[in-house]
Structure 1
Amino acid sequence: MKARCSVLSVCWFIVICVFGEDVTVKEGGSVVLETDDQKKTDDTLLWYHEDKRIALINEDQSKSCLYDGEDGRFRDRLEVDYETGFLTITDIRFEHAGDYEAEIIRSQSSGKSQSLNRNRKCDRTKIIQKTSNLGETIKKISVNVEAKTEEESYKTEKENRTKEESYSTGKILAGTCGVGVLLVVVAAVLGVIYYRRWRSRNAGMEKNKPDRLLEDQRKDDSDVSCENPSSV
């Protein structure tokens, strides 16, 4: 069957495969694996790569699981639309090429959901081999990964360098701002300490002022008495 896939280019090549059986994507790009069937809220969708499960999609994220796959090749590369069950593979590499299959377990199928361990914690590292169908196969897609040209590789490397430089500059600015804020805080604390000491010293001087005036008056009286003795 001839592939019918749309290609979008925004910095990376993003391939959305809707009806086709085969899709080719550039290394480092992304591919969106869609199904032709509408997933209902209580349906469970399973995605396989080369007969190994890479996604178990229930009605919400807490009851779903995205698997790292063999050698961790899918780690941090899978994104899911939990409403539709569409699966996106980002930053694709040659090890991601191969056959993908989507299998749906309808909510009407009694007893099937219990076998998928909805209430257990997701074990991302677990390798689950497909031995038989748990539901109905609704999509099969063959993904081919194509090497980038020298020009595309250079562009990618340049973009990565720009991102790294921007990140480094941001860290430097953040550090500079942090030092500046610290200096302002230290200056404010020292100013408060100085002000309190100054106020305390002035308050002590004001408090002792009457005593000093009285002592000065006594000294003046004593001097007068010595200079003008009484003649009586």
Structure 2
Amino acid sequence: MGSCIMLILCVFILEGVFGDPAEVKSVKEGDCVTLNTDVTKQQHDDMMRWYFNDRLIALINGHPNTSCLYDGEDGRFRDRLKVDYETGYLTIMNITTEHTGRYEADIIRSGSSGKRQSLNRTGKCNRTKIINKSSNRGEIIKSIRLTVSGSCLSPAVVAGIVVGVLLWAAVVVVVVGVMIRRRRRFSDDMKKIKQVLEKMSEDETPNGRSLMI
């Protein structure tokens, strides 16, 4: 937990020292996070693009058929991205610590000269393609530095905890089993003693009792 707090504090310190204008957000692992642009598209043909650490993860042309959502490096965004094709808002579902980083959105207006020609609006979407930020940049409309805090436990520690819990459960099961068997055995012994006493009582006669007196 301490390492997660230190990571968040370091992000805030760096923001103050270097004067980074990016908005700072901190979320928890497993959350569903929506990144907004605070900008309204003026035309349906306006293009918005979202970058993660200077690599394209979403190209929004106003319609799913002409847009593309990319899996990102190592497929970390596969089946996790969702966009609003009117506003350009980007939603990351079931976010993990791998999604910590800088997100940046730019826009290219439909009336921008010399830029629309170089953008392929009809090409097939290749989700696995890695596209770095190029010089063909639009107007930067949003920068967000996102920090995702997890459990702060390494996979080895988590595995150790799981093994420990399983071992403890196994010990409890064995102890409970032994107690149940002992209880059953004690109950059987008590029944035998009761049967012997009853038999002795039945065998005892009145004459026998008088002679003993």
Partner of 1:118: 121
Where 2:30 maps in the other structure, the secondary structure is: coil
How far, CA to CA, are the matches of 2:55 and 2:95 in structure 1?
Answer: 17
- After superposition, the C-alpha distances for 1:31-85 in whole angstroms (9 at most, x for unaligned) are 1010021113110000000000000000101000000000000000000000100
In the alignment, is residue 54 of structure 1 matched against residue 57 of structure 2?
Answer: yes
Where 2:65 maps in the other structure, the secondary structure is: helix
Partner of 1:88: 91
- After superposition, the C-alpha distances for 1:152-182 in whole angstroms (9 at most, x for unaligned) are xxxxxxxxxxxxxxxxxxxxxxxxxxxxxxx
Partner of 1:25: 27
TM-score (norm 2): 0.59
Where 2:88 maps in the other structure, the secondary structure is: coil
Q: 1:149 deviation in Å?
A: 8.7
- Residue identity opposite 2:23 in structure 1: E
- Residue identity opposite 1:72 in structure 2: G
- Residue identity opposite 1:38 in structure 2: T
- Residue identity opposite 2:103 in structure 1: Y
Partner residue of 1:44 out of 19, 44, 47: 47
User: How many matched pairs?
Assistant: 133
Q: Point out which structure has higher relative CO (alpha carbons under 8 A, 6+ apart).
A: 2
Partner of 2:195: none
- Residue identity opposite 1:37 in structure 2: V
How far, CA to CA, are the matches of 1:96 and 1:111 in structure 2?
Answer: 34
Partner residue of 2:146 out of 119, 143, 146: 143
TM-score (norm 1): 0.54
Where 2:104 maps in the other structure, the secondary structure is: strand
Residue segments in structure 1 that go unaligned for 5+ positions in a row: 1-19, 151-232
How far, CA to CA, are the matches of 2:114 and 2:135 in structure 1?
Answer: 16
Partner of 2:37: 35
How far, CA to CA, are the matches of 1:133 and 1:24 in structure 2?
Answer: 30
Partner of 2:101: 98
How far, CA to CA, are the matches of 2:73 and 2:26 in structure 1?
Answer: 22
Distance 1:38 1:147, change over 3 A: same
Q: CA RMSD in A?
A: 2.1
- Residue identity opposite 2:137 in structure 1: L
